[in-house]
Amino acid sequence: MTDSSRRTGSAALALAGTSLGYGVVQLDVTVVNVAVSSIRNDLGGSISAAQWVVDAYTVTFAALILSAGSLADRIGAKRLLIVGFALFTAASVACGIAPSLGWLIAFRAVQGIGAAALVPCSLTVLNHAYPDDAGRARAVGLWAAGASIGLSGGPLLGGALIAASSWRLIFLINLPLGILGAVLIARYAEETSRSPRASIDPPGQLLGVVTLGALAAAVVEGGSRGFADPVVLAGLVAATVAAMGFVLVERRRAAPLLPLGLFRSPTFAATTAIGLVINIAFYGLIFVLGIYFQTVRGYSPLATGLAFAPTTAVVLIANIAAGRLVSSFGTRRVIAAAASVFAVALVAMLAAGRSTPYLALVVQLTLLGASLGVIVPAMTSALLGSVDRDRSGIASGALNTARQAGSVIGVALFGAFAAHSVVHGLRVSLVVAAVLAVVTVLLALPLHPAASGAGDRLGHDRSHVPRQG
C-alpha cells in the first residue's frame, strides 16, 4: 500500500469517527422527543419539567462549545475529542440508570458537557484531514450525514427501543457507539495543530452559561407560569444583562473566548446567524410534533418514530448531495433555495387538520428533511472556508454554539406554545418556523457566491481579528 492510499484510508476512517461523534450528539437531542411521555409516566413530572430533560443537555452543550473549540485549538482537537467520547459515553450510561427525574436531568447536563467537546473537535479533525475546499465540502457532507442520521433517525430509533424494552435503552445504546468512535479517532485521526493564542476566558464562559441558562429557564417556565410572572421576567432580565456583559468582556479582553472580529467576515456572520435561526425552527418543531403525534393522534412511541421516517430517509441523501450542489450553484443560492422550500413545506402543513390522514403530511415532512439536509453542510463548509485552519476550532465552536442556542430556544419557545393546547401550539409553531425560514433566505444573501467563504477569509490579519495572547 502506498503512502498516499494509506493516508486516504486513514482520513476516511477518521471521518467515520468524527461522523459517529457528531451523530451520537445529534441522536441524543431528538431521541428524547419520543421518550418524553414514557419518561413522565415512569418518573413523573409536568411537560415543563420534562422539557428540562431536553434543555439540560442543550444548554450545557451550547454554553461550553466555544470553550471546547478554544481548548481544542490550544491542546489539540484529537486529544480533546477522545476525552469528549469518554465523558459523553459515561454520562449516557448514568442517564440510562437514573433513579429519578432530577438525577436524569443532572446526568443529561453532564452529557451535554461531553457533547460540547465532540462537535467542534470532530470538525477540526475533519478540517485537518481534508485541507482542500472540494475535499472538505464532500467530507463535511458525509460528516453532516452522520449527524442527520442521528438527528432524524432519533425519533424512529427511540420509538423502536422503547417498544422493545424501555426508554432507558435510548441512553445505554451510546455505550458501544462511544467506544467505537474513540477507537477510530485514537488510531486513525491525525494530530492537529495547536495555537497558544487560544483562550479559555473564564469571565466570558461564565457569562455565556448565565445567558443561555437564564434564557432557557425563562422561556420554559413562561409556558406554565405566564411571561408576566416575576420569576420569568427576572430570568429574561438576567439573560439580557449577561449577554450585554459577554459582549463588553469579549471586546476588552486581550485573549477573548470569542474574537468578535471574526464577525466582520460576511460569511462567518451569516452562517452563524443561519445556524441559530434554522435550529430554532427545526428543533422546536420536532419537539412539538413529537408531543402532537402522541397526545393528539394517540401514536405510540414507535409509531411516532415511524411518522418522522420521511424526514430521516431524505436528509441523509440531501447531506451527501449538498457538496455537489454547492460546487455547481454556490452557497448563497443553495441555502436560499433550501430555506424557501422549508418555508413552503411549513405553510402547506398549516392546511392540515387533526383528521388529516398521515399520508397527506408525508410530502411536507420529506421537504423539511431535504431542506435541512442541504442547509447544514452548505453553511458549515462555507464557515470553515472563511477562516484560517488554526482558527477552525473556535470558528466551528461559534457556529455550533449558535446552533445549539437555537435548539434551546426552539424547544423552550415552541414547548411554551404547546403548554396549554398542543393543537393550537403546533399551529403557532408552524407559523413562527415559516417566518424563521424566510429570515434564513434573507441571511443567505450576504454569503460569498462561491463554494466556500475564502473570498472573505479572516485569518492573521490583525485589522480583522483582535490580537491573541
With a pLDDT cut of 70, the percent of the chain lying above it is: 89
Greater model confidence, 45 or 340: 340
Q: Check residue 409 and give its pLDDT.
A: 84
**Three-state secondary-structure class, residue 100:** coil
pLDDT at 456 over 60: no
Q: How many CB atoms lie within 10 A of CB 12?
A: 13
Kindly write down the DSSP assignment for every residue of 184-220, as one continuous string. HHHHHPPPPP--TT----HHHHHHHHHHHHHHHHHHH
Greater model confidence, 99 or 390: 99
pLDDT at 107 over 80: yes
Q: Check residue 216 and give its pLDDT.
A: 73
Does this model's pTM top 0.85? My answer is: no
> What tens digit of pLDDT does each residue of 397-455 get?
788 788 878 887 888 788 888 877 888 899 999 999 999 999 999 999 888 665 454 55
Strand blocks (E) in 1-113: none
Confidence of residue 197 (pLDDT cuts 50, 70, 90): low
> Residue 391 and residue 128: Cα distance in Å, rounded?
11
Q: Check residue 2 and give its pLDDT.
A: 58
Q: Check residue 54 and give its pLDDT.
A: 82
Confidence of residue 312 (pLDDT cuts 50, 70, 90): confident
What percentage of the chain's residues is helix, strand, coil (to nearest 5)?
Answer: 80, 0, 20
Write down the H helix ranges in 226-308: 230-252, 266-295, 301-307
Q: Check residue 201 and give its pLDDT.
A: 75
Closest CA to 144 of 6, 319, 302: 319
Confidence of residue 390 (pLDDT cuts 50, 70, 90): low
Greater model confidence, 314 or 342: 342
Q: Phi-psi region for residue 452, left (φ > 0), alpha (ψ -120 to 50) or beta? A: beta
> What tens digit of pLDDT does each residue of 4-29 get?
555 666 778 888 888 888 888 888 87
Greater model confidence, 134 or 266: 266
Greater model confidence, 458 or 254: 254
- What is the arithmetic mean of pLDDT over 160-167? 87
Q: Please, are residues 446 and 270 in contact by the beta-carbon 8 Å criterion?
A: yes
CA 265 to chain centroid: 22
pLDDT at 460 over 50: no
Q: Check residue 402 and give its pLDDT.
A: 87
> What does each C-alpha distance from 111 to 43, 62, 241 come to in angstroms?
19, 12, 28
Q: Check residue 135 and give its pLDDT.
A: 74
Residue 419 gets which letter from DSSP? S
User: Whole-number mean pLDDT of the chain?
Assistant: 82
Q: Check residue 204 and give its pLDDT.
A: 83
Q: What is the Rg, in whole angstroms, of the alpha carbon atoms belonging to the chain?
A: 21
Output the nine-digit C-alpha cell for 442.
434573507
pLDDT at 348 over 50: yes
> Residue 343 and residue 351: Cα distance in Å, rounded?
13
> What tens digit of pLDDT does each residue of 334-346 get?
999 999 999 999 9
Greater model confidence, 275 or 133: 275
Confidence of residue 459 (pLDDT cuts 50, 70, 90): very low
